[in-house]
Amino acid sequence: MSMYPAGSMLPSEAALCAEFGVSRNTIRRAMAVLEEQGLILTIPAKGRLVLGDGKPKDDLYLYQEIARELRGQIERGELAPGTTLPSESQLRLQHGVSRSTVRQALAVLEREGLIVSEHGRGRFVRR
């Protein structure tokens, strides 16, 4: 049985630092790896959710999956710098989600500095 079963929230970074005797920076790097592997999901203002099979259990967090997919396409060069991202409508149809969910995913990528929005032109992979 896992110390942190699927569906549970991980303890705070401070608690994990104390539990494992490591720095906050080490915990953050570990969390980034776990999220990249689809084992945990960071939920803004809530914490980190342990996933069972690498997929979120709640549709509420589909925006994270969409952001992860687009991030991967950017990192692999499938979406090159300067490339126009698919429209909100295209992403809605492709993923079967609401406009709000698509906008949340795109906002995550904008905050990460991976994409830029140009009013009236669309969203582009940052050059």
Q: What's the pLDDT score for residue 23?
A: 96
DSSP state for residue 36 in the 8-state scheme: H
Distance CA(44)–CA(25), nearest Å, equals: 19
CATH architecture of 59-125: Orthogonal Bundle (1.10)
Query: Under a CB-based contact definition with an 8 Å cutoff, are residues 74 and 83 in contact?
Result: no
Residues 5-52: tens digit of each pLDDT: 877 889 999 999 999 999 999 999 999 888 877 788 888 778 888 876
Neighbours of 91 (CB within 10 A): 20
The average pLDDT across 114-123 equals 92
Query: Is 0.85 surpassed by the pTM of this model?
Result: no
Distance CA(112)–CA(122), nearest Å, equals: 17
Q: What's the pLDDT score for residue 60?
A: 56
Domain boundaries, the chain: 13-50, 59-125
Distance CA(51)–CA(39), nearest Å, equals: 5
Residues 45-89: tens digit of each pLDDT: 788 888 765 454 455 578 888 999 999 999 999 999 999 999 999
Q: Report percent pLDDT > 70 for the chain.
A: 91
